[in-house]
Amino acid sequence: MIRAIRFIFLFFLVGCDSPKTVQKFEGYTQGTTYHISFWSTAKNVNAISLQQAVDAELKRLDEQLSNYRNDSAIEKFNAANSTEPQEISAEIVSLIEKTRAVSDASQGCYDLTIKPLFDLWGFNGESLTPPNSETLKKVLSQIGFSQLQTIDSTHLRKHIPDLKLDLSSIGQGYSVSQIAGILEAQGVDNYLVEIGGELQTRGKKPDNSVWRVALEKPLSSERSMQKIIGVNQSEPFAITTSGTYRHFFDTEGKRYSHILDAKTGFPVTHQTVSVTVFSRDATTAELWDTALLCLGREAGIEAANKAGIAALFIEQQNNTFNEFNSNALDDLKTIEIIAVTEK
């Protein structure tokens, strides 16, 4: 499941754990890497068998949600040019309905049916192809969540035969949630699961210290830390980020963000370069980080406050980064956000 329009490696594990108590494994999935650190207070958990279960689930998710492979469930749905009800997994229907609610909260800026716009602009290729107004208008008529009807828990209907869904903006967060569920089902009560920078934690380290991760500075020219985040709670907690600074095109002296506003068909033009969302699960967090980034800081904070979403917005003015918190982030007492001092 390649998320070509999203950046990766926003977070890095920091600190050291005893290899005698914390077990770790990693691998490749969805065009990126995954890393899992875990230990259990209740039982001994075999890391090899657990990794086998994790890899099997990641393979299953790839077969369900990936837009890059023609044989995935979602691409088979996309390929069916029909307005008749189509049977699809209850998992995908449930995920779409969760996304629909967040899309509504973004006033349609964030929309899973935006796939034809990415193809039109060339964001999935090597060069940008800004469309003319006539072509853009035609493609805009082919998108919109209102053109997708949920019949029941296992059936969807397109109102437009060539409607296509792009799940790349939610696949990794959802996968993190699913993998966390596998760990918990096997008795793991302390973990950090990370896929392509999207992560979820539970519990603490064996020495009772908190899980700590690093938030990347939103610069395209370098990779350095902006913040260190410590998660001080026993229940599951997720951190995900969406940003504009890794995927963009510079054409004729103008920078085009890969974040497209589904209402206008154009790349967003605001100064918000990243949005980090803190939530109880990675699925919810990733849904909101993309939607809030699409809206930008002003409209995004309004939407986050209305929905009770804890979010950190970063805007760039020349070489200066300005940070803005939603109300829920100001009220969140179970995390510690520490600025990294430049040397």
Residue ranges of domains in the chain:
1-343
Residue 222 has which token pair?
């370098």
What distance in Å separates the CA atoms of residue 70 and residue 277, rounded to the nearest whole number? 31
Average pLDDT over residues 280-294: 96
Least confident stretch, 101-115, 285-299, 313-327: 313-327
Residue matched to tokens 């054409």: 251
Q: Is pLDDT at 259 greater than 80 in this prediction? A: yes
> What is residue 236's predicted lDDT score, i.e. its pLDDT?
97
- pLDDT tier at 5 (50, 70, 90 boundaries)? very low
- pLDDT tier at 272 (50, 70, 90 boundaries)? very high
Q: Is pLDDT at 94 greater than 80 in this prediction? A: yes
- pLDDT tier at 125 (50, 70, 90 boundaries)? low
> What is residue 121's predicted lDDT score, i.e. its pLDDT?
83
Which residues fall within 8 angstroms of residue 295, CB to CB, at 6 or more apart? 106, 107, 109, 110, 303
Half-sphere exposure of 280 (CA within 13 A, CB side): 2
- Strand pairing partners for 193? 36, 200
pLDDT > 70 in the chain, percent: 87
Alpha helices in the chain, H assignment, sequence order: 47-65, 73-79, 90-105, 115-121, 133-140, 171-185, 282-295, 297-307, 327-331
Q: Alpha carbon of 184 to those of 95, 177, 220, 257: distances in Å?
A: 21, 11, 36, 38
Note if the pTM is more than 0.75.
yes
Tell me the average pLDDT of the chain.
Answer: 87
The Cβ of residue 328 has, within 10 Å, a number of other Cβ atoms equal to: 17
Q: Is pLDDT at 7 greater than 50 in this prediction? A: no
Average pLDDT over residues 179-197: 95
> What is residue 221's predicted lDDT score, i.e. its pLDDT?
57
Q: Alpha carbon of 310 to those of 192, 224, 325: distances in Å?
A: 20, 23, 8
- pLDDT tier at 207 (50, 70, 90 boundaries)? very high
Least confident stretch, 60-69, 103-112, 251-260: 251-260
Q: Is pLDDT at 224 greater than 70 in this prediction? A: no
Instruction: Summarize pLDDT for 132-154 with one digit per residue, the tens.
Output: 999 999 999 999 999 999 999 99
- pLDDT tier at 2 (50, 70, 90 boundaries)? very low
Class in CATH terms, 1-343: alpha beta
